[in-house]
Amino acid sequence: MRKQGIESGFTLLEVMVAVSIFGLTVITLLGVFSNGLNLLRLTNNQTQAIILAQSKLAEFNAGVERNTAGEKGSLAWKIQTTAIGQGMEQIGVSISRDKKEKIQLVTLKQAGQ
């Protein structure tokens, strides 16, 4: 003979609600993780471009780099000099990746130095 009493456990509705909440949480976390990876990639690309721009600017100012344009990996660089009067030159380095992202560094120096 079975005793009639309160059975312990979860109802189907409770299980469905718990699974739904878990699923929404996982989807949200995956979205956050994906955005984080995209930002990491973008930051890495910008850091590489800035390092290349600083390097090319220093090489050009030191007289080591004679070219005014070139490529290094997926990055293309271009150096432009402009006389701005009173014995000053503006030197700019542009770095681009796939003609989309562009980083520019500009400095001033005395002409002829």
Q: State how far the alpha carbon of 99 is from the alpha carbons of 45, 81, 96, in Å.
A: 13, 21, 6
Residue 94 amino acid letter: S
The token pair at 16 is 């469905």
Which CATH number covers residue 74? 3.30.1300
**In this model, does residue 42 exceed pLDDT 80?**
yes
Q: How far apart are CA 72 and CA 54, in angstroms?
A: 14
pLDDT at 84: 86
Q: Is residue 6 part of a domain?
A: no
Q: Is residue 1 part of a domain?
A: no
Domain count, the chain: 1
**In this model, does residue 105 exceed pLDDT 60?**
yes
pTM of the model: 0.69
Band of residue 2 on the pLDDT scale cut at 50, 70, 90: low
Q: Is residue 80 part of a domain?
A: yes
The answer for residues whose C-beta is within 8 angstroms of residue 72's C-beta and 6 or more apart is 52
pLDDT at 39: 96
Q: What percent of the chain has pLDDT over 90?
A: 46
Q: Is residue 90 part of a domain?
A: yes
Q: Is residue 7 part of a domain?
A: no
Q: Is residue 2 part of a domain?
A: no
Q: Is residue 4 part of a domain?
A: no
**In this model, does residue 97 exceed pLDDT 80?**
yes
Rg (CA), the chain: 30
* Lowest pLDDT segment from 16-25, 39-48, 53-62, 99-108: 99-108
Q: Which domain, by its residues, includes 39?
A: 12-110
Q: Is residue 35 part of a domain?
A: yes
Q: State how far the alpha carbon of 65 is from the alpha carbons of 13, 71, 73, 91, 102, in Å.
A: 71, 13, 17, 13, 21
